[in-house]
Amino acid sequence: MSPALAPTALSRAAVEPDNAPDDDFAADMLEGLRSRPRGVPPKYFYDAAGSKLFDRICELEEYYPTRTETALLARHAEAIADCIGPDAELVEFGAGSLRKVRLLLAALRTPRRYVPIDISSEHLQAEAAVLRAEHPALEVAPLAADFTRGVRLPAAPGAEAARRVGFFPGSSIGNFTPEEAGRFLQRAAGLLRGGGLLIGVDLLKDPAVLHRAYNDAQGVTAAFNKNLLVRANRELGATFALDAFDHYAFFNPLERRIEMHLVSARRQAVRVAGEFFEFAAGDSLHTENSYKYGIEGFQTLARGAGFVPGPVWCDDAGLFSVHWLAAPRRAVPRGVQA
Torsion of CA 72, 78, 79, 80, to 10 degrees: 70
Looking at residues 191-207, what average pLDDT do you find? 97
Q: What is the largest CA-CA distance in the chain?
A: 63
- Give the least confident one: 5-14, 150-159, 318-327, 329-338: 5-14
Work out the mean pLDDT of the chain and round it to a whole number: 89
**Cα separation, 245 vs 30, whole angstroms:** 18
Amino acid at 180: E
Query: What local confidence, expressed as pLDDT, does residue 7 receive?
Result: 35
pLDDT of residue 164: 95
| pLDDT above 90 (res 277) | yes
Bigger pLDDT: 336 or 312?
A: 312
The per-type count for the chain, helices as H runs and strands as E runs, is 11, 14
Please report whether residue 147 resides in a domain. Answer: no
Whether 254 maps to a domain, the answer reads yes
CA distance 327 to 307: 5
pLDDT, tens digit (0-9, with 9 covering 90-100), for 48-89: 899 899 999 999 999 999 999 999 999 999 999 999 999 999
pLDDT at position 123, please? Answer: 81
Q: How many residues does the chain have?
A: 338
Task: Please choose, from the candidates 287, 276, 272, the residue with its C-alpha nearest in 3D space to the C-alpha of residue 235.
Answer: 272
pLDDT for 9 beyond 70: no
Integer Cα distance of 335 and 338 in angstroms: 10
In a domain, 135, yes or no: no
Provide the pLDDT for residue 70. 96
- Model confidence over 214-257: pLDDT tens digits? 999 999 999 999 999 999 999 999 999 999 999 999 999 999 99
Q: 208 burial class (0-12, 13-18, 19+ CB within 10 angstroms)?
A: exposed
pLDDT of residue 238: 97
Confidence class of residue 269 from pLDDT cuts 50, 70 and 90?
A: very high
pLDDT at 1: 64
CA dihedral 134, 138, 140, 141 (to 10 degrees): 170
Please give the residue that has the higher pLDDT: either 268 or 159: 268
Residue at 177 is within a domain:
no
283 domain-assigned: yes
Alpha carbon distances (Å) from 113 to 149, 187, 242: 22, 21, 42
CB 53 within 8 A of CB 290: no
Question: Is residue 246 domain-resident?
Answer: yes
Dump pLDDT digits (tens) for 83-127.
999 999 999 998 878 889 999 999 999 999 999 998 878 888 999
Helices (H), the chain: 11-15, 25-34, 48-58, 64-75, 77-84, 101-107, 121-134, 178-191, 207-214, 220-236, 295-304
Q: pLDDT digits over 141-150, tens only?
A: 999 888 887 7
User: Looking at residue 161, what is its pLDDT?
Assistant: 67
Nearest to 41 by CA among 68, 6, 17, 81: 6
Beta bridge partners of 309: 325
Say if residue 11's pLDDT is above 70.
no
pLDDT for position 2: 52
81 is a domain residue = no
For residue 284, what pLDDT is reported?
Answer: 98
Does 125 reside within a domain?
no
- Quote the domain boundaries for residue 52: 11-62+206-291
Q: Is the pLDDT of residue 17 over 80?
A: no
Confidence of residue 157 (pLDDT cuts 50, 70, 90): low
pLDDT score for 162: 82
Question: How many domains does one find in the chain?
Answer: 1
Report the pLDDT value the prediction gives residue 48, as an integer from 0 to 100. 86
Dihedrals φ, ψ of 304, to 5°?
A: -65, -20
Q: What is the pLDDT of residues 18-41, one digit of tens each?
A: 333 345 899 999 999 999 999 999
Arithmetic mean of pLDDT, 272-296: 97
Position 252 scores a pLDDT of: 98
- pTM value is 0.87
How does pLDDT run across 126-146, given as a tens digit for each residue?
999 999 999 999 999 999 888
